């Protein structure tokens, strides 16, 4: 019969030390993987937020000025702030509307519906060929259920004389902190300069829209506070609030159907 002996105190302490080292190593790997996942997820959120905005806003701007019947001269009515046949309207650093985040721009476009009802407003409104859609895009402050601002759209369906049929508003994407817009004015030799909305004196000369948006992740990450200043367009900048979210600036230029004033 073999004599059985227990572990000595030294052997037990060595075993416990090795076990703690292994646990510490596994914990470090887990924490590192979690941090990597958080960063990658935040980057994906930021890029996706920007991509969705470019899709909606780009599509809306390309619809601006659409007129369904080529046999009938285009005639958008004069109504509100829109002059006759004006298809785009904007406000620079809008602070008059409580629904709009101060220091951000707003832009409004209008277009005619189609016989086959293929065009839609930004909230899903489907106009007929005898109706006009007026879509207004703006950045709204963070709501009680959201941690970050969001891009909103207000869509109004109108008759051909400008009478309101219906109005609806909905968020397009959460995670957009700023929107800045410039307009390319037509001149001899094509587009000669870009200006802000308050510098446009004749909207019939606008041929393109250039915009920059600041997208952010929808959640904080572990790490240092973000107080970076981001360059947008036209000398406009935006400074992060000191949270730990990732941010990214996206820019795009869209040409309009503004062929008649």
Alpha helices in 117-159 (DSSP H): none
Q: According to the model, what pLDDT value does residue 261 have?
A: 42
Report yes or no on 21 lying in a domain: no
Report yes or no on 27 lying in a domain: no
Q: According to the model, what pLDDT value does residue 6 have?
A: 62
Report yes or no on 247 lying in a domain: yes
**Domain count for the chain:** 1
Report yes or no on 104 lying in a domain: yes
Q: According to the model, what pLDDT value does residue 17 have?
A: 80
Report yes or no on 24 lying in a domain: no
Give the Å distances, CA to CA, from 213 to 50, 77, 132, 150: 7, 31, 27, 11
Give the Å distances, CA to CA, from 64 to 61, 89, 206: 5, 10, 12
Q: According to the model, what pLDDT value does residue 162 have?
A: 92
Report yes or no on 29 lying in a domain: no
Q: According to the model, what pLDDT value does residue 2 have?
A: 57
Report yes or no on 25 lying in a domain: no
Report yes or no on 216 lying in a domain: yes
Q: According to the model, what pLDDT value does residue 40 have?
A: 66
Domain that holds residue 102: 38-255
Alpha-carbon torsion, ordered 215, 220, 222, 225, to 10 deg: 70
The list of the chain residues with pLDDT below 70 reads: 1-7, 30-42, 190-191, 221-223, 259-261
Q: How many CA atoms lie within 13 A of 194 on its CB side?
A: 14
pLDDT single digits (tens) 1-56:
555 566 677 777 777 888 888 888 777 776 666 666 566 666 777 788 888 888 88
């Amino acid at each position: 019969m073999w004599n059985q002996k227990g572990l000595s105190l030294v052997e037990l302490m060595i075993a416990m030390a090795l076990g703690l080292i292994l646990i510490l190593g596994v914990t470090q790997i887990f924490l590192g993987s979690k941090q990597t996942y958080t960063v990658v997820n935040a980057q994906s959120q930021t890029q996706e937020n920007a991509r969705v905005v470019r899709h909606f806003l780009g599509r809306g701007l390309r619809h601006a000025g659409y007129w369904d019947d080529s046999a009938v001269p285009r005639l958008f009515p004069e109504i509100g702030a829109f002059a006759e046949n004006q298809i785009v309207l904007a406000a620079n650093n809008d602070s008059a509307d409580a629904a709009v985040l101060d220091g951000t721009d707003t832009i409004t476009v209008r277009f005619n519906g189609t016989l086959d009802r293929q065009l839609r407003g930004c909230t899903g409104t489907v106009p007929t060929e005898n109706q006009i859609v007026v879509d207004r895009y703006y950045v709204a402050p963070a709501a009680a259920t959201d941690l970050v601002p969001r891009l909103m759209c207000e869509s109004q369906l109108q008759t051909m004389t400008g009478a309101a049929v219906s109005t609806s508003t909905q968020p397009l994407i959460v995670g957009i902190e700023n929107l800045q817009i410039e307009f390319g004015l037509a001149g001899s030799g094509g587009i000669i300069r870009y200006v802000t909305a308050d510098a446009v004196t004749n909207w019939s000369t606008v041929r393109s829209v250039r915009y920059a948006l600041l997208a952010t992740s929808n959640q904080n990450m572990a790490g240092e506070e973000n107080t970076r200043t981001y360059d947008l367009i036209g000398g406009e900048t935006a400074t992060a609030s000191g949270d730990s979210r990732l941010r990214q600036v996206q820019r795009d230029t869209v040409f309009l159907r503004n062929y008649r004033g």
